[in-house]
C-alpha cells in the first residue's frame, strides 16, 4: 500500500483534528478549556463492571522467575507458558491490574501497573478467545475487571465466528481489545482529555506487550480493523447494554499469540463484524458518574478522529536505525526480574534535584525507545515511527547539560531540521554514540526552562533529564488520515512506558507529563508558530524521586482475600 494524501471528508476531518489540537493546547496565560473546580461528588468510578455477566476469577500468579527484566526487550526465545487461566491472570495483572492501594486521611485509591493521567484510568481491557483450550475460558468475549481480577463473560462465540478469528493463526488464538471511557478524563481535564485517553491507551498497549513477553507470548496491534469493527467484536456498539452508562470508545484489537510466533491480520473484517451481530450478549455496564458535562470540541474530535476505514498504514514500519547497533552497556546492571520492575513502577511526585545517572544508563534508555520492529514493545506497534525526543539533559554524568534531539526515525530528520529555525541550534552528533542523538544546545542549563514548559512543574527541572515527544504531525495525518492523531499519541505512550520501566530498573523513577505549554516547547526549537507540521505531544521526566511519607501503602489484592 503506497503513501496517499487525504482528500474530501478525510481532509475535512484532518482540519477538525488540527483545530481540536490547537484548542486543547495549554498556554501560560490560558489553559485549555476545562472544568476549573472539580466536582468530587461526581468523580467517575474507576472500575467498570457488567452486571449480569458470569464472572470468572483469575488466579494471582507470582511469576518471579518467568523472565529477566532485560529479556523484556529481546525477541521471544523462552519456552512460552501455557495459554491457561494462570497465564491470562498474569497477562491482565501485569498489563492492566492493580499495583497497590494508597491511603491518606481516610481516602483510599488504587494504583495500577499501567499509569494514567490523573490516575483516572479511562482504558478498559477485553479478551476474545477463539477456541477451546484446556484450562482456559471457552470461546467468548470477556471484559477484564481489575478490582476483582476477573473476566466477565459478555458473550460466547459460535463456531463460525471462532473459525473466522482463527484464520491464518496458529492455535490457540486470542485477541486483546482496548477501549476508553473518555468521560473519566474529561471529568477532570475538560477538552484536553481526549489527548490523555490516547496516551493512556499507548501505555496500556506497551504494558500488555511486556506482560505477554513475560509469558513468552507475542502481542501485536492490528492496523486493519476500523473502529466499527473493534466496537462490533468487543460489543461496544450495543447501545442497550450501555443505556444510562458512559460509552466506551473503541481503541484497538491486538492479536495475542501464545506460541510466541509470527502473527497476521484477521481478514476479512466485514464478515466478522456482521457475524458478531448474531451473537447473544449479556451484561449491562455500570454508570460511573451521576452527571456528565459535554465538552463540545472533544465530541467533535471523537467523531473526526474515528478510524472509519479498514486499511493498513501507508508504509511498513522502518527497521529502526539501531537494529544492528549493539545495545550500550549498562554500568550498574542489576539482574532484575521483569515482574518485580513492572509491579513496582510508580510515578514520581517530586524529584530530588541532585541524582545524576551515568551516560551508559541514559544511552541504554535511549536505545530502548528506538522503534526496532523486531523487539518488544515496538514489535506490537504496526505504524511507521513518527516521534522524536527533544531532551533536556540536566544531570547525566559524561554528557554536557543542554538540549538534545533523539531522531528516532533518521529518515525524518531533514524535514524536522527544516522546521527548526532557531539559529542557536548546534546539531552536533553526540560523540561515541551509536544512536541518532544530536546536541542542539550543548552547555545550556535548562532546568528552569524545562519546568516552565511543563506548566511550572518542578519535576521537569529536578529530574536527571526530561523531554518532549515531538511528532511529525501534519505529514502523518495527511498520509494516514485523521485517525492517525490517536496512533501518534499511542506511540508517545509506548515510549513513556519504556521510560517508566527503564527508570525503575536503574533505581530511579519517571513521571509522564501531560500538562505542558505546547508552544513554549515549539518556540525553543524555532518552529513556525502558525504551522502544526511538528508538534510536541507528551513530556516526561526521569530522575531521583522523593517519596511522599504521608501516604500509607496497602497490597493490591488484599481486598480479595478479605472477601
Ligand atoms: C498521560 C499521562 C500524563 C500525566 N501527566 C502528569 C503531569 O502532568 N504531572 C504529574 O505530576 N503527573 C502526571 N502523570 C502521572 C499520573 O498522575 C500517574 O500516572 C497516576 O497518578 C498514577 O500513578 P502511578 O503512575 O504511580 O501508578 C501523568 C501520567 C500519564 C500516563
3-state secondary structure 154-169: EEECCHHHHHHHHCCC
Closest ligand 1 atom to Cα of 118? 17
| Grid coordinates belonging to 468 | 518532549
Give the mutation target among 31, 118, 202 for probing the ligand 1 site: most ligand atoms within 8 A of CB: 118
What is the CB neighbour count within 10 angstroms for residue 47? 14
Q: Is the CB of 156 under 6 A from ligand 1?
A: no
Short-list 480, 451, 470, CA closest to 543: 451
Distance in Å, CA 269 to ligand 1 centroid? 36
Q: Where are the beta strands (DSSP E) in 407-551?
A: 428-429, 437-442, 465-472, 509-513, 534-543
Q: How far apart are CA 293 and CA 402, in angstroms?
A: 43
> Do the Cβ atoms of 188 and 35 come closer than 8 Å?
yes
Cα 196 off chain centre by: 10
Q: Is the CB of 346 under 6 A from ligand 1?
A: yes
Percentages of the chain per state (helix, strand, coil), in multiples of 5: 35, 20, 45
> Reduced to 3 states, what is the DSSP secondary structure of residue 191?
helix
C-alpha atoms less than 13 angstroms from C-alpha of 78 in its C-beta half-sphere? 20
pLDDT of residue 160: 87
Give the mutation target among 111, 112, 346, 514 for probing the ligand 1 site: most ligand atoms within 8 A of CB: 514
Residue 521 has phi, psi (to 5 degrees) of -65, -40
pLDDT of residue 266: 65
Residue 109 has phi, psi (to 5 degrees) of -145, 150
Residue 414 has phi, psi (to 5 degrees) of -55, -40
Give the mutation target among 34, 114, 185, 347 for probing the ligand 1 site: most ligand atoms within 8 A of CB: 347
Do the strands 396-397 and 357-358 form a parallel or antiparallel pair, or are they unpaired?
parallel
Report the b/e string of 404-415 with b at 16+ CB within 10 A. Answer: bbbbbbeebbee
| Grid coordinates belonging to 54 | 458470569
Burial class (CB in 10 A: 0-12, 13-18, 19+), 507: middle
pLDDT of residue 319: 47
Q: How far apart are CA 80 and CA 69, in angstroms?
A: 16
Distance in Å, CA 163 to ligand 1 centroid? 41
Q: Is the CB of 199 under 6 A from ligand 1?
A: yes
Q: Is the CB of 119 under 6 A from ligand 1?
A: yes
Residue 104 has phi, psi (to 5 degrees) of -150, 125
Short-list 510, 342, 519, 315, CA closest to 412: 315
pLDDT of residue 488: 98
The count of residues in the chain is: 563
Among protein residues, the one whose CA lies closest to atom 1 of ligand 1: 117
Report DSSP state, residue 280: P
Block residue for cell numbers 510508580: 346
Distance in Å, CA 540 to ligand 1 centroid? 10
pLDDT of residue 430: 95
Block residue for cell numbers 467498570: 48
Distance in Å, CA 94 to ligand 1 centroid? 18
C-alpha atoms less than 13 angstroms from C-alpha of 258 in its C-beta half-sphere? 22
* Phi-psi group of 265: left, alpha or beta (phi > 0 → left; psi -120 to 50 → alpha; rest → beta): beta
Task: Going residue by residue through the chain, which has 563 residues, state the pLDDT in tens, using 9 for 90 and above.
Answer: 334 445 567 899 999 999 999 999 999 999 999 998 999 999 999 999 999 999 999 999 999 889 999 999 998 777 899 999 999 999 999 999 999 999 999 999 999 999 999 999 999 999 999 999 999 999 999 999 999 999 999 999 999 888 888 876 666 689 999 999 999 999 999 999 999 999 999 999 999 999 999 999 999 999 999 999 999 999 999 999 999 999 999 999 999 988 877 666 666 788 888 888 889 999 999 999 999 999 999 999 999 999 998 877 665 555 444 444 455 554 445 568 999 999 999 999 999 999 999 999 999 999 999 999 999 999 999 999 999 999 999 999 999 999 999 999 999 999 999 999 999 999 999 998 999 999 999 999 999 999 999 999 999 999 999 999 999 999 999 999 999 999 999 999 999 999 999 999 999 999 999 999 999 999 999 999 999 999 999 999 999 999 988 999 999 999 998 75
Q: Is the CB of 343 under 6 A from ligand 1?
A: no
Short-list 342, 480, 472, 486, CA closest to 410: 472
Block residue for cell numbers 541514559: 362
> Do the Cβ atoms of 421 and 527 come closer than 8 Å?
yes
Q: How far apart are CA 322 and CA 369, in angstroms?
A: 10
| Grid coordinates belonging to 196 | 490523555
Q: Where are the beta strands (DSSP E) in 98-207?
A: 98-104, 107-112, 123-129, 140-145, 150-156, 174-180
Amino acid at each position: 500500500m503506497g503513501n496517499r494524501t487525504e482528500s474530501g471528508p478525510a481532509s475535512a476531518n484532518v482540519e477538525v483534528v488540527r483545530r481540536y489540537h490547537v484548542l486543547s493546547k495549554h498556554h501560560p496565560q490560558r489553559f485549555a478549556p476545562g472544568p476549573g473546580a472539580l466536582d468530587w461528588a461526581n468523580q467517575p468510578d474507576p472500575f467498570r463492571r457488567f452486571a449480569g455477566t458470569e464472572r470468572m476469577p483469575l488466579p494471582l500468579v507470582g511469576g518471579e522467575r518467568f523472565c529477566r527484566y532485560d529479556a523484556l526487550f529481546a525477541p521471544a526465545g523462552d519456552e512460552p507458558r501455557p495459554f491457561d487461566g494462570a497465564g491470562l491472570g498474569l497477562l491482565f495483572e501485569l498489563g492492566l491490574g492493580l499495583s497497590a492501594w494508597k491511603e491518606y486521611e481516610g481516602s483510599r485509591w488504587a494504583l495500577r501497573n499501567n499509569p494514567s493521567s490523573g490516575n483516572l484510568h479511562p482504558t478498559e481491557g477485553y479478551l476474545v478467545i477463539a477456541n477451546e483450550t484446556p484450562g482456559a475460558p471457552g470461546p467468548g468475549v470477556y471484559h477484564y475487571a481489575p478490582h476483582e481480577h476477573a473476566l466477565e463473560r459478555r458473550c460466547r462465540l459460535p463456531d463460525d465466528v471462532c473459525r473466522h478469528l482463527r484464520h491464518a493463526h496458529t492455535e490457540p488464538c486470542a485477541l486483546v481489545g482496548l477501549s476508553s471511557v473518555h468521560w473519566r478524563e474529561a471529568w477532570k481535564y475538560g477538552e484536553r482529555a481526549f489527548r490523555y485517553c490516547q496516551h493512556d491507551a499507548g501505555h496500556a498497549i506497551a504494558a500488555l506487550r511486556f506482560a505477554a513477553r513475560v509469558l513468552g507470548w507475542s502481542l501485536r496491534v492490528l492496523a486493519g480493523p476500523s473502529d466499527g469493527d473493534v466496537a462490533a467484536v468487543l460489543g461496544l456498539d450495543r447501545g442497550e447494554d450501555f443505556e444510562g452508562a458512559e460509552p466506551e470508545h473503541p481503541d484497538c484489537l491486538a492479536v495475542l499469540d501464545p506460541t510466541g510466533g509470527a502473527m497476521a491480520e484477521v481478514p476479512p473484517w466485514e464478515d466478522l463484524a456482521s457475524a458478531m451481530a448474531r451473537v447473544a450478549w449479556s451484561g449491562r455496564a455500570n454508570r460511573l458518574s451521576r452527571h456528565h458535562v459535554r465538552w463540545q470540541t472533544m465530541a467533535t474530535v471523537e467523531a473526526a478522529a474515528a478510524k472509519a476505514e479498514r486499511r493498513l498504514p501507508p508504509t511498513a514500519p522502518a527497521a529502526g536505525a539501531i537494529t544492528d547497533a549493539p545495545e550500550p552497556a549498562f554500568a550498574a546492571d542489576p539482574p532484575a526480574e521483569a515482574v518485580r520492575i513492572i509491579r513496582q513502577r510508580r510515578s514520581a511526585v517530586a524529584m530530588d534535584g541532585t541524582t545524576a545517572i551515568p551516560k551508559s544508563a541514559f544511552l541504554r534508555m535511549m536505545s530502548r525507545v528506538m522503534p526496532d520492529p523486531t523487539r518488544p514493545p515496538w514489535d506490537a506497534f504496526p505504524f511507521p515511527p513518527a516521534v522524536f525526543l527533544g531532551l533536556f539533559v540536566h544531570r547525566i554524568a559524561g554528557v554536557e547539560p543542554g538540549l538534545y534531539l533523539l531522531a528516532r526515525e533518521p529518515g525524518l530528520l531533514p524535514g524536522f531540521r527544516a522546521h527548526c529555525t532557531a539559529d542557536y541550534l548546534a546539531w552536533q552528533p553526540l560523540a561515541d554514540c551509536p544512536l541518532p542523538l544530536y546536541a542542539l544546545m550543548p552547555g545550556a542549563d535548562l532546568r528552569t526552562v524545562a519546568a516552565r514548559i511543563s506548566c511550572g512543574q518542578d519535576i521537569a527541572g529536578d529530574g536527571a533529564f526530561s523531554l518532549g515527544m515531538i511528532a511529525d504531525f501534519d505529514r502523518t495525518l495527511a498520509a494516514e488520515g485523521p485517525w492517525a492523531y490517536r496512533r501518534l499519541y499511542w506511540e508517545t505512550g509506548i515510549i513513556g512506558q519504556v521510560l517508566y520501566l527503564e527508570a525503575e530498573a536503574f533505581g530511579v523513577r519517571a513521571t509522564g507529563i501531560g500538562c505542558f505549554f505546547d508552544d513554549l516547547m515549539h518556540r525553543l526549537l524555532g518552529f513556525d508558530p502558525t504551522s502544526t507540521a511538528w508538534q510536541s505531544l507528551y513530556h516526561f521526566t526521569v530522575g531521583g524521586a522523593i517519596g511522599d511519607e504521608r501516604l500509607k501503602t496497602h497490597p493490591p489484592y488484599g481486598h480479595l482475600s478479605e472477601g
